[in-house]
A and B are shown apart, each in its own frame.
Chain A
Amino acid sequence: MKERLHKDVVIIGAGMAGLTAALYCGRMNLDTLVLENGIIGGQIANATDIENYPGFVSVKGGDLISTVQTQAENFGAVIDEFDEIEKVTLKTSPKIIETQEKIYEADVVIIASGMNRRKLPLPEEKKFAGRGVHYCELCDGHAYDGKIIAVMGGGNAAVDAANFLTKYAKKLYLIHRSEFRADEVSQKRLRANDKVTIMLQTEIKALRGDKRLEEVEIFDKKSGETKTLAIDGIFVNIGVEPNTALFKDELTLTASGRISAGEDCRTEIDGVFAAGDVREKEIRQLTTAASDGTTAALLAEKYLAKLKG
């Protein structure tokens, strides 16, 4: 029989939005629990150099998030990164979050479950995942010291990943099916590196290898040519998908799979807030994630005050 516990606020996700919400909830003396199924920090935990977060010239994602985690915990928020959520029921009062080990009853739920990287849409992906196809540069880049690396994608995450991986690669290809969407600053840094070959308007059509990835087949859309490149490892950065599978029966999701909520982070269910990248919005940055976390926490406190009369 699972233990039943009551919490003022349960925050789902310990990325920047979730931890900022936890920090604010903690400061307001709310009994706050943060549940995280992946890694604390989410996407940002893998970021190597963050240069657009105010207050820091350059900071590692892991260091920044670790500080926010400490702030949240110092104000009494509890973070559980090992007990996985199995089911959520949001329309009841209190709301129910069932994990592998416990059942939490919560007056407020803040959903800050963020995004996961989109998988490489090729049938061979499963065969080579972890054996030449990777989704975390910081975790797996070191295994390609002195080897040939490809980065797939053309946004900021892809170009930043490519810049980071040049420290290991003897040769690095950046392969993208259309044009760059990354910031000029990051693009310039990449273009200036002699190890790098940029292949735009190029698609990866197939992955080949015996036990590990050995080569990729690419298609140049401009010339119509198909070529084979010897590649030891490919790091996939072709976008992200919202982590909303848990909520699809409880909340209306938008066409992109995100949660519909305004700038006040309120969802269609009273006492349920959506914060950070998981919320449907135009701008998704680390700063706006922190902003959402703040807004959700402050409005959660107002909701709780009204609820408790």
Chain B
Amino acid sequence: MKVTVFGFEDCPFCQKTKRFLQARGVEYEVRDIELDEEAAAECKRISGDLAVPVTTIDGKNYVVGFDKRKIEELLASA
């Protein structure tokens, strides 16, 4: 399972999402949609928008924003 968080550095909820995954011991990759155009395009392809954070597993199922329960469900579904 590959967990990816799309976001950018100054985004408070992106930071919270990353801290949450760290606290749960989940390994994840960060893709910065401000610095990386490909990441922005990929984020838009997955969620249809540029609202972040987007937490996704293998680019399929995803959660927009920081929602603890939904992220836990996403992780449990993998």
Contacts and interface: CB of A to CB of B under 8 A. Distances in A.
A82 B23 CA distance: 9
Nearest to B40: A142
B14 to A, nearest CB: 8
Given A82-B20, A143-B51, A39 B8 contact: no
Given A82-B23, A130-B64, A138 B34 contact: no
Contacts of A153: none
Interface in A116-141: 130-131, 136, 138-140
Interface in B39-56: 49-52
Is the contact region of chain B dominated by helix, strand, or loop, or is it mixed? loop
A272 interface: no
Interface residues of B, number: 20
A287 interface: no
A81 B34 CA distance: 26
Contacts of A170: none
Nearest to A63: B10
Contacts of A41: 12
A143 B50 contact: yes
A60 B15 CA distance: 15
Contact of B49 (A81, A84, A131, A138): A131
Nearest to A143: B50
Secondary structure class of chain A's binding surface, majority of residues? loop
Contacts of A60: 10
A140 B10 contact: no
Interface string B1-43: 0000000101111011001100100000000011000000000
A77 interface: no
Interface string B60-77: 000011101000000000
Contacts of B15: 62
A139 B52 contact: yes
B16 A138 contact: no
B12 A62 contact: yes
A10 interface: no
Contacts of A46: 12
**Which of B12, B33, B68 has the largest count of A CB atoms less than 10 A from its CB?**
B12
B51 A130 contact: yes
Contact of A139 (B13, B19, B23, B49): B13
Nearest to A65: B12
A138 B51 contact: no
Contacts of A143: 49-51
